[in-house]
Amino acid sequence: MANATDPRGGARVRLPPPLVLLAFIGAGVGLRYLIAPPPLPGGRAVQFAVAGVIVAVALFIGGSAVGLFKKSGQNPAPWKPSPSLVLQGAYRFTRNPMYVGMTLILVGIGFALDDLWLVIGAALFLVVVHYTAVLPEEAYLDEKFGDDYRAYKKKVRRYL
């Protein structure tokens, strides 16, 4: 697994996931003007309520994960070195709470804008992040933390 580590000391992540998220938001909104998607179910009031709940959950999951990283003195950027595993909070239920949060934000924005392309794009976003960030991060963590990380992987799901 010699290729798992970036020369800067962290995982070999080539695309910053927040930029991927912004690209998918832009693509979804842009596509809406090229090909009008069918409306999402429930009417605007329901869509806004659903969007609010989804975004609130996303911010709680992702924000608490970022907070745990900062509290432990680590940088949440995946290409930065990880001095220790973070196993508390949302990390007890998902190994990737920040990416789950980003995916949910995309779904929430889709509901808020009544944009089916953003909702569909959320699944594609997660596929892109899976291959460009999650797999390199897992290889890095496996290489760095060995049996401790492998035991964690057996106990906690990758996403949900």
Q: How do residues 79-104 score in pLDDT, each as one tens digit? A: 999 999 999 999 999 999 999 999 99
Domains: count for the chain: 1
Q: What is the domain-level CATH number for residue 124? A: 1.20.120.1630
Distance CA 81, CA 93 (A): 23
> 4 lies in a domain?
no
> 7 lies in a domain?
no
Mean of the per-residue pLDDT values of the chain: 94
> 1 lies in a domain?
no
pLDDT at 7: 55
> 69 lies in a domain?
yes
Distance CA 41, CA 97 (A): 27
Residue type, 52: G
> 133 lies in a domain?
yes
Of the candidates 130, 112, 109, the residue with the CA atom closest to the CA atom of residue 26: 109
> 124 lies in a domain?
yes
Q: How do residues 2-54 score in pLDDT, each as one tens digit? A: 456 655 679 999 899 999 999 999 999 999 999 999 999 999 999 999 999 99
Q: How do residues 103-137 score in pLDDT, each as one tens digit? A: 999 999 999 999 999 999 999 999 999 999 999 99
Distance CA 107, CA 117 (A): 10
> 42 lies in a domain?
yes
Range of the domain at 48: 16-155
